[in-house]
Amino acid sequence: MSLLEARGLTKRFGGVAAVSDCSFAVPEGTITALVGPNGSGKTTVFNLLTGYLRADAGTVAFGGRPLRRPEPTRLARAGLTRTFQQARIFPELTLVENLVVAIQQPWHAIARRAVSRRDEARALALLEEFGLVAHAEARAGTLSYGQKKLLEFAAVLMGEPRLVLLDEPTAGVNPVMVEAMERHVRELHARGLSFLLVEHNMNLVMRLCDPVVVLDHGTKLAEGPPADVQSDPRVLDAYLGG
């Protein structure tokens, strides 16, 4: 069953169609990749799927239910969450606060203590897992870029999502960090979480993802297991010229 399904997504900016009639699915329990040359519309698709942009046409269904008006808050609460290309965290908050604020609260909890003992324990356990526990009480703004990416990844997990959209999780981080990121995705996947990745590191995509969706000029060029996609002449064409 597909957890997330996009059908006929279209988005124009002025006269330019950034995404046009794009359809693909993220099957439940997979690590799906969304790849394509620069400017092929990957990030725009992400923004459409997560409600940061309104599509001009097309529909998105999550967990089998169509989303009438995708909106980030509601989607996050329904279990669909994302990270951003530039590692968006709250720099003035501590690492623990960055994680605790991402726990989805019922409306009546807002008067409670900002960080309860239970919240803190949960946050520390996750920071431990991500190798950030030494900085738990530091302001997030003091972290390195790669650490910020890990923190952002950890933060979206606090909301107990079913599907995580990662926008270029390894862009601009060192090889050790790339390995760490891959390990975390694999572990979380083994625990039942599904992923959709935008990623430029093709080696990583080939190792980690199945299926792979290829975009070009805002529309789907190919979709399938990594080996098939890799040998698809249309894909080679899109990447190497044409």
Give the footprint of other proteins on this chain (CB under 8 A). Answer: 50, 52, 71-73, 76-77, 81-82, 84, 88-93, 97, 100-102, 104-105, 107, 109-115, 155-156, 159
Q: Put the strands of the sheet holding 163-167 in their side by side order.
A: 80-82, 163-167, 194-198, 31-35, 212-216, 219-224
Per the CB < 8 A criterion, the answer to whether 163 and 26 are in contact is: yes
- Cα atoms found within 13 Å of the Cα of residue 82, Cβ hemisphere only: 23
1: helix, coil or strand?
Answer: coil
Concatenated DSSP letters of 165-230 = EEESTTTT--HHHHHHHHHHHHHHHHTT-EEEEE---HHHHHHH-BSEEEEETTEEEEEE-HHHHH
Per the CB < 8 A criterion, the answer to whether 165 and 83 are in contact is: yes
Instruction: Pick between residue 8 and residue 141 the one whose CB is nearest to other proteins.
Output: 141
Instruction: Pick between residue 31 and residue 53 the one whose CB is nearest to other proteins.
Output: 53
Smallest distance, Å, CB 206 to other proteins? 29
Instruction: Pick between residue 32 and residue 47 the one whose CB is nearest to other proteins.
Output: 47
Instruction: Pick between residue 43 and residue 81 the one whose CB is nearest to other proteins.
Output: 81
Smallest distance, Å, CB 119 to other proteins? 9
Q: Is 22 exposed, middle or buried (0-12, 13-18, 19+ CB in 10 A)?
A: buried
Smallest distance, Å, CB 11 to other proteins? 17
Smallest distance, Å, CB 223 to other proteins? 26
Smallest distance, Å, CB 211 to other proteins? 25
DSSP state of 2: E
Instruction: Pick between residue 193 and residue 208 the one whose CB is nearest to other proteins.
Output: 193
Residue 134 and residue 115: Cα distance in Å, rounded?
18
Instruction: Pick between residue 102 and residue 229 the one whose CB is nearest to other proteins.
Output: 102
Smallest distance, Å, CB 84 to other proteins? 7
Smallest distance, Å, CB 124 to other proteins? 16
Instruction: Pick between residue 49 and residue 222 the one whose CB is nearest to other proteins.
Output: 49
Concatenated DSSP letters of 69-108 = S--HHHHHHHTEEE--TT----TTSBHHHHHHTTSPPPGG
